[in-house]
Amino acid sequence: MEALIREDESAPSGIPQRWGDINWRRVERNVRAMQIRIAKATQEGDWRRVKTLQRSLTRSFSAKASAVRRVAMNQGARTAGVDRVAWDSPEARWESIGRLKRRGYRPLPLRRVYIPKANGKERPLGIPTLHDRAMQALYLLALEPVSEGTSDPNSYGFRINRSTADAMSQLFVSLSKKASAQWVLEADIKGCFDHISHDWLERNVPMDKAILRKWLKAGVVFQSQFQATDAGTPQGGIISPTLANVALNGLERDLMKFLRTKLGTVQANRLKVNVVRYADDFVITGNTPEVLEHEVKPWVEQFLAVRGLTLSPEKTRIVNIADGFDFLGWNFRKYSGTLLIKPSKKNALAFYRRVKEVIRTHHGKKPEDLIRTLNPMLRGWAQYHGPVVAKAAFTRMEHLIFRCLWRWAKRRHRGKNTEWVRKKYFASIGMRNWVFGTNVLGKAGERYWMELYSIPSTPIRRHKKVRGDYNPFDPAQEMYGETLRQERMAESMSYRKQWAKLFMSQRGLCAVCQGKITKETRWHDHHIEPRVSGGSDALGNRVLVHPDCHVQVHSYGQVAVKPVFD
């Protein structure tokens, strides 16, 4: 297997000499082969072998190249750390592969920035240097197969092929029936990422302890002042979500074991205790408030205390399902015995305020610029709530945004009457009236009506939940995982049907490197025969490629071809 991992380096005719020479399909295959072996050793409990395999993986060329590529293809690659270094060329990325070495490695402090939260407060974000991000991505390749094999079944945050919609669907399963639990412990961990115990992480995270300690103690720089870090794992690091998941793994599994040991299996099952977690947000169901208050909550507090964490007294509460609760931007509540999941009022209000602020700041700009800014926001919010009972919320949001746009249009033309403003900015499209838009010049010189995305037109589709026992590194489940990935990616592209068709025809693979196209890698729509050379917009002349591969095609002579499958 080591020969396979080092195939790129050992074959004289296959040694890459530059970034554009790397065979990314081989790189992906080599990394996955070793990850599968790590996952198998984890399932067998052979921790010495896990450590050996992890060491081999982090020293291989394939893993290093994969780590650098992940960082370079991420949108955050444009944001530099304290060293202000950016990988703005293939040559810089190629050189960075050779610098990923354990010996002599010393991470730089993180650059501290603050981003606004929905409640008006600010969340600290730590930005590592690109080199440190690549090192984290490298060791994450070795840690992920272990964390996936030891995760709770109903943990859905920052895991492969799992999402908030999966957590929502699992809660629907746990609460929707007439005989389901009627009480919910809505829990919130106080500053989870900022307070995780370093000592606990160093003792329990199955990875290189020396490297982990260096990351945890790297410190941060804010306003040119260095601040030491004695606890927590910084939000912004590639490996931080997985470290938090490792710290909270066992919340579901160990709680059920505790209840069965104390009360017996039959009595524990009657309590209808179910845990659903997304990163550091979780809810626990129960058939009575007493079992949640006197059995479950004390155990959870003790579980968290060992890891240096505590529950937030203000945000942790026990509620009846008839009164409802908010989780991940949705409101879960039973109406006359029927569970309905709707967009939460808090989520809708926060989104409306963001849209309102965008409209306000575009007062003097062109209408097409405003539409191009708003459409991804509106589409993203609507698609997020697409799997729940959201039609009423969609209609309400459409009305509120219309009022903002009407004020925006009237303010731009104070001397014009209402009818003039209506004809300039609003039109009737099919059965829809008062559609906000503007006439713009197309690429072929024709004029067309660019319209604002219609939130109520978003279809409501029931989400297909991932299996609880799904392990992305189990070869027996590879076909299931690949089908799931392709279906979900095609669904996320449904607003652009041509992209969805291209994605499915390419089986979700880049037309240049044959690597997987995911939400994290992103994609570009490439014309095989350029339009400036007479190429058409037909699907037969277009392929989806990674953004980095797109640069390789146009600047370094790489070839994108229409894939053909047997």
For 149-185, the DSSP string reads: HTS-TTB-TT-TT--HHHHHHHHHHHHSSTTS--EEE
**What phi and psi, each to the nearest 5 degrees, are found at residue 282?**
-150, 155
Q: Would you state the pLDDT for residue 444? A: 67
Q: Mark out the alpha helices in 362-435 (DSSP H runs).
A: 367-384, 391-412, 418-425
Contact yes or no for 50/206 (Cβ under 8 A): yes
Residue 319: strand pairing partners: 184
Beta strands in 154-267 (DSSP E): 183-188, 220-222, 225-227
The stretches in the chain having pLDDT less than 50 are 1-13
Contact yes or no for 129/82 (Cβ under 8 A): yes
Q: Would you state the pLDDT for residue 8? A: 43
The pLDDT tens digits of the residues spanning 95-138 come to 999 999 999 999 999 888 887 776 667 777 888 999 999 999 99
Q: Would you state the pLDDT for residue 119? A: 62
CA 210 to chain centre: 28
Domains of the chain: 1-150+197-230 (no CATH), 151-196+231-340 (3.30.70.270), 345-457 (no CATH), 475-556 (1.10.30.50)
Q: Kindly report the CA angle at 377 between 506 and 245, in degrees rounded to 5?
A: 70
Helix axes 24-43, 130-149, angle to 10 degrees: 40
SS (H, E, C) 335-367: ECCEEEEEECHHHHHHHHHHHHHHHHHCCCCCH
